A and B are shown apart, each in its own frame.
Chain A
């Protein structure tokens, strides 16, 4: 085995083994030496424009930016030499002088230990206790508050352009840019329109990388410093992508959600996962409610469950509907409850569509971003799986070929190098009759185009939605073996539900049990039955039509697993503690089953997890 090549450098007198191709800043960071930088971000390509990271390198005539300077064998670096520190102080003074940085009025501001602002942190570190060059109070710096979820305050912007690069390199949305030049330089959206009117999709990636308080989240601003909050890694239950998130909580409240840089989504989130989860929600249901004289009246768990159990026992057949947003454990308990306790097969998902069949080699999210040929068949990732949509756009920026096959218009049409209809890729079998049909109607010409494109590519990925005909599946199965497939499943845990045999379907029975968790109707109406039990976290049109309402946990309180589009089982960890009167779905089902007279065979959530996974 050949040892990995090593570049030996010395930073501040400490010998470091760096990898070739690393920058001085990366090599130093790996060895635990922090070189201050403002425009540099570990997940963005370095630009070397803020000039805070200037260091002294022996044999170099002048100071060099550590964030762009590649390591070389025998290099000797001084990061805190007098010359470097003097230059750094000057940059900090200049940055502080360019806009009106009123630290005390900024939500990021704090003490040397608690500040969240990278600029202020450096100010403390280098002892900037006064200004030689005063701040620019004279100008009325605009604040752009036209976006729903976050605000841009130009007075706090230091023009590091991390947001611009994040918009280009991570979100591949190309909304942010720079207008004017010199000291008039300003961050702008599109052709200098207001952010709210721009092509911004509010993915919030810029917000996550901003080093100062220039980009401020409306919901979490002024609600605590980094040192006062808890960061928990978790999974977003917004859609089937299952993005890794870092939830920022304090005092059992969810303040903010950030993308997990190390997960498959590589730090990216969509507006649903990042912002909608902290938006105000309808009234939370805290206690069970039973309809008495036409009104829902709060009552105890015991009374409500006994009442419901009696109704279910009387009913000839009970039907069940569950939300696909629920984790595997809740869905498994629900299915068990119907099969074993109520002896009913009338159980299905509340909404959604049949997840597509599994095909060929499964792809992971990174394969999409790194692909050089992406085929999107049915499904609309820019709407349903937004993060996947952005990964496709990122691949497009890296010259990937995009082929869209859909009968309806999609957001990705303008990126497509080849646009086909579904019937174009209907593969007709080997029967002589089908061959004849092909010859005469020239159907299936898309199949050869598709095959040619995929064969020419190194790392082709096919994304396919539900509702495909067998002929299309046949065409996809006929693609070469190097293709990786990623199903575009609708419904967060629809894949997990399908493994448990739960599919969206009409269910029959005079009594109905609907387990919605924290889902909201969004205009969907429940089928009318003699008796309806709804288990929901929030009051909604669904609960208003129910006879019995039971409280449920919201996504951030649930524990269990979900299966995402990659087919991976992701742990759903509780971020918040549920109110005392709210129980997990499986516990409710256990209690209910005991009252019906046939107890389910589990006592702990781990029993179900073991059975399911």
Chain B
């Protein structure tokens, strides 16, 4: 278990003044596309096996085994297969994919080409976030280079049988299009509304055909894996969360930025060694993987940042994208949660009732707490809303509402005193209302809250 040299960021130095875009020639000169050459001599099943053996888990947030995902694609071809690359990086606090595309676009393209061989894909769509103008341009140029050097195009990848076309598709600014089926709908030119599952994208994805959807960072790991093998990959990280990981450090830290380390470093280590320590005050909390994953509290500095420890010891939904927002002791946690929930209320796609209304209600209630109108019942209402939404209780189509729920749950549970201080117990007048033959005691104002 050791992380000795940068893997994904080997062409991107820490010093901003030394960074430059690695176009095709530079990329090949630094050992690029050798993994792809090797992959063209392998069968799809072999590649999938290498990826499965390595224990590579999706870096987009859910942490699902990449090899398993590829194995779901039907072996029998009855039409085109698609590869959708999820570069719709919209999770607040996450900016790792942008960094990879910014300086090392061919690493991604090489990963795409190898994945296409493994899953017999004919067309790869890079669905990139609408706001990533520069990155889209970088990709366009890199793809043009790849076409010119016989990676993409009709002649097949380096003349092999796998023919792959690659396109950049730019999003139109909705967070929900980063959800895989929302992404597919958007890709098809429809409204970005997540689909009911089953069928899963591996069976009926883009245009009703089998589709692989992978995150940019996941695909960037693939060339290194092919080149150096699963055993090397497993030397990094923990047994269940292997490999390198990009940590997007932001918030109250001295050196915010994207840092690479292995999975399973502690929160303390990431703040002290990667981000250069706290800024402006002592550590209070950290949002560990984009706001949807929830928050780590003051006594959770020893939690390991991998797919499991954050969940089981940290009480979060998962590691997510490892976009860390570190908060210092002067942060108002109620305001921080309101800020998060405002994002959800704004970005909910509006399809399922719980999410559409629940997120709006959470924002409404938190705003009134912050504005000084908090009531004792407000926290109960927030927790009731939080418990009844998401795919975990089964009340929504996609996992968006789980994110809302988890942020709210962890914020309130871990900083209960801060919230309770703003929600004073109010004097309650009991009214007796005659309703039919029953006398019902109703606290005053209960139907106007």
Name A residues whose Cβ lies closer than 8 Å to a Cβ of B: 47-52, 54, 60-65, 68, 86-87, 90-91, 94-95, 97-98, 129-134, 159, 177-178, 180-185
Contacts and interface: CB of A to CB of B under 8 A. Distances in A.
B204 to A, nearest CB: 14
Contacts of A183: 345, 348, 350, 356-357, 359-360
A184 B345 CA distance: 9
Given A86-B388, A87-B393, 11 more contacts: A50-B352, A61-B394, A90-B354, A91-B395, A98-B353, A98-B356, A132-B381, A182-B349, A183-B345, A183-B360, A185-B356
B191 A178 contact: yes
B392 interface: yes
A90 B360 contact: no
Contacts of B381: 132-133
Nearest to B445: A134
B18 to A, nearest CB: 42
B447 interface: yes
B351 A94 contact: no
Contacts of B41: none
Q: Choose among B347, B348, B350 the residue with the greatest number of A CB atoms under 10 Å from its CB.
A: B350
B196 A65 contact: yes
B123 to A, nearest CB: 20
B439 interface: no
B354 A134 contact: no
A86 B351 CA distance: 20
What are the 10 A-B residue pairs with the smallest beta carbon separation, nearest first?
A62-B394, A63-B394, A185-B350, A183-B360, A182-B348, A94-B357, A181-B350, A49-B351, A90-B388, A48-B196
A63 B387 CA distance: 13
Interface of B: 174, 176, 191, 196, 345-354, 356-361, 381, 384, 388, 391-397, 435, 442, 446-449
Given A97-B357, A133-B361, A178-B191, A49 B448 contact: no
A275 B448 CA distance: 41
Nearest to A96: B357
B356 A130 contact: no
Contacts of A95: 353, 357
Most buried by A among B196, B352, B353, B395: B353
16 contacts: A47-B196, A49-B353, A51-B352, A54-B394, A87-B394, A90-B354, A91-B395, A94-B361, A98-B353, A98-B357, A98-B360, A131-B447, A132-B446, A182-B348, A182-B349, A185-B356
Given A68-B196, A132-B381, A132-B449, A181 B174 contact: yes
B356 A182 contact: yes
Contacts of B196: 47-48, 65, 68
Contacts of A61: 394
A283 B360 CA distance: 54
A129 B394 CA distance: 25
A188 to B, nearest CB: 12
Contacts of A63: 393-395
Of B360, B394, B442, chain A has the most CB atoms within 10 Å of the CB of B394
A178 B350 CA distance: 10
A561 to B, nearest CB: 46
B357 A51 contact: no
Contacts of B357: 94-95, 97-98, 133, 183
B382 to A, nearest CB: 12
A78 to B, nearest CB: 13
Contact of B396 (A51, A98, A181): A51
B395 A134 contact: no
B395 A54 contact: yes
Contacts of A47: 196
Nearest to A182: B348
B174 A182 contact: no
B346 A182 contact: yes
A542 B176 CA distance: 63
Contacts of B348: 181-183
A51 B352 CA distance: 7
A161 B445 CA distance: 33
Contact of B449 (A49, A91, A134, A184): A134
A131 B357 CA distance: 14
B449 A94 contact: no
A87 B191 CA distance: 27
A62 B349 contact: no
Nearest to B346: A182
B398 to A, nearest CB: 11
A257 B80 CA distance: 47
B219 to A, nearest CB: 29
Contacts of A86: 388
B368 to A, nearest CB: 12
Contacts of A50: 352-353
A177 B354 CA distance: 21
B350 A180 contact: yes
Contacts of A54: 394-395
Contacts of A178: 191, 350
A6 to B, nearest CB: 22
A159 B356 CA distance: 10
Contact of A51 (B191, B353, B361, B446): B353
Contact of A130 (B393, B396, B447): B447
Contacts of A129: 435
Nearest to A134: B448
